[in-house]
Amino acid sequence: MTAIRLPTTRSPGSALGAAPDVAESAEAYGTTGGYAGTTGPDALLGHLSASGLRGRGGAGFPAAAKLRAVRDQGGVPVVVANGEEGEPGSVKDRWLLRARPHLVLDGLALAAAVTGAVRGYVYLSDPEAGARVRRALAEREPDLPVEVVETAHTYVAGEESAVVRRIGGGPALPTAKPPRPFERGVGGAPTLVSNVETLARIALTAAHPELRGTIARSTLVTVSGGNAVPVLTEVPYGIPLRTLAAGHGIPDAAGALMGGLFGGLVDARSLDLPLEPGALAAAGTALGCGAIRFLAAGACPVATAADAVGHLAAESTRQCGVCVSGTAAIRDTVHALAAGTAGPDAPARLERWAQGLPGRGACGLLDAAAATAGSLLLAFPERVRSHLRRPCPDCAATPAGDGHGRRLAVRVPEVADAPPSRVPLSLRPSPVLKGTS
């Protein structure tokens, strides 16, 4: 089971909260400043803009700009808390919905206030998270009508156009863009699809605007790899990847699989990079959803790449022919490398696909497969060449998986039920939904 590691320095602006192993009640959340409604929409938008808060769903788009884009479309917007966590190595979103549903719901209501939305949705695939969110809604009835929408868990079900399609009654499959959801989403209305951690940080900023910089520059990460127990923790931007690896019990890590399956592989030298979106992007990798899998010393990166591309190929929705053929070709070639049966042209073919396939599918799945292949060649060229000369003992000991990402998967930390709240509904404060600061 995944452990939770609290930061050394505790802060009221922490997304982990005071008791991360127990579901937070409305009463407990209220004592931390939640649901207070003291920061108006305009002031909140100013705080978010000044703090530079980025979305935590993977793309890292500025949160204030996304809120403004929905607000400025006109009409009556819709807001969606996106808790569908497709990355097998990430647990933060499901944990937030299980442990701190009121924090997420508060953030959703505040986002509605900023954009002018009058209805909201919580979108997820985890039954336990769904039960906790429904319990939170019953415990404190929100002024904003909120519906919980469940979907089947897949890698692409959380892609924003797939979210809109599923809420509208269709399958959770990506659609061609434009239009994007902020232009025309649920029911044709401008729609904010926001990751649940992003909404949590919006709520924390509203309750503690004096800590806006710290809130924006802290992030939840899921750390796994080696023989260590996976960990969910909160860290500040700027912490070296090597420090994270050492704290995870792998001081001599050989590299990492970054950003879930989206940031690709990096070598040991790259572990001196700071965990900061801009610095990572400049180095050709990504923070993504905050899932980092470190490679233990001696572990073969080809085996890790084989697991990653195998999972992506299995998760292709088969809507785009280029994705079906592209992910399968990358999978088969990397698996052949791992098995020691690849021909001498394998690296050249992987390089060609890494350069030519990104951007050709309806979502980012094909891009992730191509990035994994390209990063393997870039970060570990000698290891790739060695697989062409002779079979790899490490890969032989860990043959390619079944495509379901089980070796990459991390379990959600256990969260106990909250005790019943003692505060009557009539005495609990309501969030600000409309108006100005």
Q: What is the pLDDT of residues 49-91, one digit of tens each?
A: 999 999 999 888 999 999 999 999 989 999 999 999 999 999 9
pLDDT band at 400 (very low <50, low <70, confident <90, very high): low
Token pair listed for 205: 């900023």
Altogether, the residues listed in the chain come to a count of 437
Residue ranges, CATH 1.20.1440.230, the chain: 231-397
In this structure, the strands spanning 120-124 and 218-224 are unpaired
Residue ranges, CATH 3.40.50.11540, the chain: 3-217+416-427
Q: How many CA atoms lie within 13 A of 85 on its CB side?
A: 28
Tell me which residue has tokens 């802060």. Answer: 11
Per-residue pLDDT, averaged over 402-406, amounts to: 61
Could you give the CA distance from residue 257 to residue 83 in angstroms, rounded to a whole number?
22
pLDDT band at 404 (very low <50, low <70, confident <90, very high): low
The pLDDT value recorded for residue 60 is 86
Q: What is the pLDDT of residues 307-346, one digit of tens each?
A: 999 999 999 988 888 999 999 999 999 999 999 999 999 9
Q: Which long-range contacts link 376-380 to residues 24+ away (Cβ below 8 Å)?
A: 376/264, 376/265, 376/301, 376/302, 376/305, 376/334, 376/350, 377/347, 377/350, 377/351, 378/284, 379/255, 379/264, 379/265, 379/266, 379/267, 379/270, 379/301, 380/255, 380/265, 380/267, 380/301, 380/302
- Selected residue with higher pLDDT from 436 and 371: 371
Average pLDDT over the chain, rounded to an integer: 92
The pLDDT value recorded for residue 359 is 86
CATH class of 231-397: mainly alpha
Other C-beta atoms within 10 Å of 183: how many?
14
Residues whose CB is less than 8 angstroms from the CB of residue 105 and which lie 6 or more positions away in sequence, other chains included: 81, 122, 133, 136, 137, 142, 146
Q: Any idea what DSSP says for residue 150?
A: E
Cα Rg of the chain, angstroms: 22
Q: Is the CATH number of domain 3-217+416-427 3.30.360.10?
A: no
